[in-house]
């Protein structure tokens, strides 16, 4: 059973999400909150698997609530999905840094919302394709913030390579094919890199890759762009952009 908390200041939006989720086998809504502070209290009390949190709310923003959830060791198993009306903006960019595992536009199709909850509950990263494409462009258009980023020296050469590949949107299976290793080995390298960098999930690993300068728009960082001609795209393996997908 996936336990979900709903945090949104719009009562109609919460009612719509609850109706959809209550009708789904395997998902339980553990509570609702109408502002960020109440949402944080709800998450602390219920420790859900997934918290759907609006990015802009009274009392405390969704970004601040996400930051506090991510910083609390007792909530390490909680995954936050940020809900937004606006696609990508500074709020969403900051929320990734704060520890969000994914983003969805509020006009996401019901089936994609359900898939999103399942994906994030498994500990995977998720972004709406439209948000992801803009997000990558936003990251690569900014100068690397190396002062705030962990050092690359903590990663092995292999770990740097898989991190760069993950940041360019390759799945574990695609990384394995590129590096001529097994998918399990690729997953192990990813997991070790996340542990060393203190990344909660794959989305945070992507933040590191761009902010450290490991990956740039055309691969002009300290290493050749490992994704080759594929170019910047999604965190996911879905190249069609037709639906919400995962980074496995």
The pLDDT score that the predictor gives to residue 36 is 95
Q: CA separation (Å) from 47 to 35, 81, 102? A: 17, 14, 18
User: CA–CA separation, 60 vs 33, rounded Å?
Assistant: 12
User: CA–CA separation, 56 vs 18, rounded Å?
Assistant: 19
The pLDDT score that the predictor gives to residue 200 is 74
Torsion of CA 76, 79, 85, 86, to 10 degrees: 60
The pLDDT score that the predictor gives to residue 216 is 64
The pLDDT score that the predictor gives to residue 41 is 97
Q: CA separation (Å) from 151 to 74, 139, 187, 209, 210? A: 27, 18, 21, 11, 13
The pLDDT score that the predictor gives to residue 104 is 82
The pair of three-digit structure tokens given for residue 12, joined into one six-digit string: 């109609």
Averages of pLDDT over each 10 residues, the chain, 248 residues: 96 93 94 96 97 93 93 92 72 76 83 88 64 55 50 86 82 89 91 84 76 61 40 34 37
User: CA–CA separation, 55 vs 82, rounded Å?
Assistant: 6
The pLDDT score that the predictor gives to residue 241 is 35
The pLDDT score that the predictor gives to residue 217 is 47
The pLDDT score that the predictor gives to residue 88 is 54
The pLDDT score that the predictor gives to residue 67 is 92
Kindly report the pTM of this predicted structure: 0.65
The pLDDT score that the predictor gives to residue 43 is 97
User: CA–CA separation, 153 vs 167, rounded Å?
Assistant: 18
Query: Residues 6 or more apart from 218 whose CB is under 8 A from it?
Result: 225
The pLDDT score that the predictor gives to residue 213 is 76
The pLDDT score that the predictor gives to residue 94 is 77
User: CA–CA separation, 35 vs 199, rounded Å?
Assistant: 27
The pLDDT score that the predictor gives to residue 69 is 95
User: CA–CA separation, 25 vs 87, rounded Å?
Assistant: 29
The pLDDT score that the predictor gives to residue 84 is 82
- Rg over alpha carbons for the chain, rounded to the nearest Å, is 17
Cβ(89)–Cβ(65) below 8 Å? no
User: CA–CA separation, 206 vs 199, rounded Å?
Assistant: 9
The pLDDT score that the predictor gives to residue 172 is 83
The pLDDT score that the predictor gives to residue 238 is 35
């Amino acid at each position: 059973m996936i336990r979900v908390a709903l945090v949104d200041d719009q009562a109609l939006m919460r009612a719509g999400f609850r109706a959809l989720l209550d009708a789904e086998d395997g998902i339980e809504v553990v509570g609702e909150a109408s502002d960020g502070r109440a949402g944080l209290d709800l998450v602390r009390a219920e420790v859900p698997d997934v918290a759907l949190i609006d990015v802009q709310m009274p009392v405390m923003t969704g970004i601040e609530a996400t930051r506090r959830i991510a910083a609390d060791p007792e909530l390490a198993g909680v995954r936050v999905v940020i809900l937004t009306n606006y696609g990508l903006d500074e709020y969403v960019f900051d929320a990734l840094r704060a520890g969000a595992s994914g983003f969805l536009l509020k006009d996401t199709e019901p089936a994609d919302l359900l898939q999103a909850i399942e994906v994030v509950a498994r500990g995977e990263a998720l972004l709406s394709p439209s948000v992801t494409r803009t997000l990558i462009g936003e990251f690569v258009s900014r100068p690397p913030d190396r002062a705030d980023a962990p050092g690359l020296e903590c990663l092995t050469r292999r770990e740097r390579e898989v991190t760069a590949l993950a940041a360019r949107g390759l799945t574990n299976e695609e990384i394995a094919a590129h590096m001529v290793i097994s998918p399990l080995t690729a997953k192990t390298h990813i997991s070790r890199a996340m542990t060393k960098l203190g990344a909660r999930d794959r989305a945070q690993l992507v933040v590191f890759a761009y902010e450290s300068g490991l990956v740039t728009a055309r691969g002009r960082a300290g290493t050749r762009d490992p994704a080759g001609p594929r170019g910047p795209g999604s965190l996911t393996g879905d190249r069609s952009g037709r639906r919400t997908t995962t980074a496995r």
